[in-house]
Every structure is written in C-alpha cells, then in structure tokens.
Amino acid sequence: MINLQGDAPTVDPQAVRAALAPLDDAAVDIGTIVTLIRSAEERDNPNMVKAAVAFPRPGQWGTRFTSALPIPSGEGPHYHHVGIYAFRREALARFVALPPGLLERRERLEQLRRARGRMRIDVALVDSWPFGVDTPADLARAGPF
C-alpha cells in the first residue's frame, strides 16, 4: 500500500515506484525515499524534513531518524525525506494502531511513530525532489495545477 502525502503535487511517478524497492527485503516493514539536499537553504528550511541515513548496502539504506532540523551534524551529505511510504499490509495495520509517541509529538512527524512499534523503515535514494507546498508562499509559487 502506498501513502503519498498531498503536499508534494509534482512527485515523479518513478519516485513512487522507488519507495517500493526496500520492500524487496522481507525484514522491511515500510519503504520510503530520500533525495540529496543541494543547498544550505534547503538544509536549514524547517518545512523540509531531513533524514539521518546509513548506507549498509548499495541501493537501499536504513533510516534512523527524521527531523525538521538539519541532521546528522558534522561533515557529509544531508538528505531530504520525501513523504511517500510503501507499507506492507500488516505493517500498516500495526502502524495505525500505535499511539503517537513523545518524539512524534515533539517533531510533529508521523513517521517517527514506527520507532515506537520497532518497525523497520528503509529508504531508497532518488534524484528528483518534488516541489513541496508547505506554506502560503509555496502555494502562491506553485500556481494552479
């Protein structure tokens, strides 16, 4: 099952397919995608969700945390989390049954709920970042669709 956030109206259909790739591993509960942050403005924008990711194998990566703030600290690339989720049916049932936890409420990011249920989420890296509509200024910039 795919959950595509409504604030990314220009998402590339290939990105949606990429979110399914992590589910090739039976141990993964949820698949999602990230793209490289290319500027300090993007990195520092609190409306762009960032993902701290590790790279244990080519083609897929496990995410450890997401935040509105730039993470991780220190030198190296930063990644923008794109709001697309691919759930296994059982994982979706577990996810929606979980109550919001402290981190989810604090960061206001529903994907942090999966940590409460010890659910594994892996990410695929994509090249394109969809234009996000998070503020009235974004909506004005987007124009009619």
Residue 99: CB partners within 8 Å, gap ≥ 6? 116
Q: In residues, how long is the chain?
A: 145
Residue 53: CB partners within 8 Å, gap ≥ 6? 34, 61, 62, 63, 64, 79, 123
Amino acid 103: pLDDT: 84
Amino acid 31: pLDDT: 93
Amino acid 30: pLDDT: 93
Amino acid 92: pLDDT: 95
Q: Where are the domains of the chain?
A: 2-128
Radius of gyration of the chain (CA): 15
Amino acid 18: pLDDT: 92
Amino acid 63: pLDDT: 73
Residues of the chain with pLDDT under 50: none
Q: pTM of the predicted model, to two decimals?
A: 0.81
Amino acid 145: pLDDT: 58
Measured in Å, how far apart are the chain's first and last C-alpha atoms?
25
List the CATH code of the domain at 2-128: 3.90.550.10
Amino acid 69: pLDDT: 84
Amino acid 140: pLDDT: 78
Amino acid 80: pLDDT: 87
Model confidence pLDDT, tens digit, residues 40-74: 998 998 888 888 887 666 666 677 778 888 888 88
